[in-house]
């Protein structure tokens, strides 16, 4: 499970909302109990599916309870004149039900050296240099919390950088022109994920941060890519939107939001 610890300096809620906005491409606002809001699993579904749909060249994503999310902003170049005029979709999270500060972990000044850690029999490259904000995911899944443990039954750790897609030559065409590697990408290496991280400058402290999602990945659902440090959750051609969402939900579970100050 999560390890409890005494935090050093954890970001305030407004900065966390900014980070969630940066990683999702949506405007994330805080809401109160009793109102419609995203769960951590909903959040990673939206992040992963948005990127997958952008890879497919689609302009919209339909998501239950949120309606239609425009992808035009994700398709536009950040410095394009039209990019600033494309409105962000606004989504809500109930901070009390979304974050779990008991399990925050500040790796900012941690150095593992030659120490080796494992999760689910696979090496866990801890996010040294990053500050992890824990998401509230315990007791949220029908199959229990074993996936989040440290034993053999646990799922391996993966990191998801928002810019991670086929642009780096991960996706390719086979001899018949069919797409090989169609789906959602992540990596077991935080150093690889950092290359695909999202940057934002906070209005809270005027500092610039990188942001990455920390997940667990179902070892039976992920595939090894040609590049050793890349994992793929494959989405078959012809899958319906409901099937695509189910594939993500059964394959990737988030448990941390990672922040790193750009010095």
Asked if the model's pLDDT at residue 100 lies above 50, the reply is yes
Q: For 104-156, how does the pLDDT look when each residue is reduced to its tens digit (9 = 90+)? A: 999 999 999 999 999 998 999 999 999 999 999 999 999 999 999 998 899 99
pLDDT value of position 157: 97
pLDDT value of position 77: 36
Q: Which of 155-159, 166-170, 240-244 has the lowest mean pLDDT?
A: 166-170
Average pLDDT in the 169-184 region?
61
- SS3 per-residue string spanning the chain: CCCCCCCCCCCCHHHHHHHHHHHHCCEEEECCCCCCCCCHHHHHHHHHHHHHHHHCCCCEEEECCCEEEECHHHHCCCCCCCHHHCCCCEEEECHHHHECHHHCEECCCCCCCCCCCEECCEECCCCCCCEEEEECCCCCCCCCCHHHCCCCCCCCEEEECCCCCHHHCCCEECCCCCEECCEEEEECCHHHHHHCCEEEECCCCCCEEEEEEEEEECCCCEEECCCCCCEEEECCCCCCHHHHHHHHHCCEEEEEEEEEECC
Q: For 54-77, how does the pLDDT look when each residue is reduced to its tens digit (9 = 90+)? A: 777 777 788 876 777 777 655 433
């Amino acid at each position: 499970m999560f390890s409890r610890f005494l935090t050093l300096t954890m970001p305030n809620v407004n900065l966390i909302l900014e980070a969630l906005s940066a990683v999702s491409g949506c405007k994330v606002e805080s809401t109160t109990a009793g109102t419609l809001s995203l769960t951590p699993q909903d959040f990673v579904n939206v992040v992963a599916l948005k990127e997958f749909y952008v890879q497919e060249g689609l302009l919209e994503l339909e998501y239950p309870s949120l309606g239609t999310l425009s992808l035009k902003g994700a398709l536009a170049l950040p410095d394009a004149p039209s990019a600033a005029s494309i409105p962000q979709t606004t989504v809500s999270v109930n901070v009390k039900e979304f974050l779990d500060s008991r399990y925050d972990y500040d790796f900012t000044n941690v150095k593992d050296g030659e120490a080796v850690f494992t999760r689910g029999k696979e090496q866990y490259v801890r996010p040294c240099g990053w500050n992890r904000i824990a998401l509230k995911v315990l007791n949220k899944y029908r199959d229990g919390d074993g996936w989040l443990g440290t034993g053999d039954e646990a799922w391996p750790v993966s990191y998801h950088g928002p810019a991670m897609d086929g642009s780096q030559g991960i996706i390719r065409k086979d001899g018949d022109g069919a797409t090989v590697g169609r789906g959602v990408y992540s990596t077991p290496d935080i150093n690889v994920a950092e290359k695909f991280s999202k940057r934002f400058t906070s209005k809270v402290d005027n500092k610039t941060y990188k942001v990455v999602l920390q997940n667990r990945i179902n070892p039976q659902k992920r595939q090894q890519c040609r590049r050793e440090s890349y994992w793929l959750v494959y989405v078959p051609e012809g899958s319906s939107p409901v099937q695509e969402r189910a594939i993500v939900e059964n394959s990737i579970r988030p448990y941390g939001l990672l922040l790193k100050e750009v010095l």
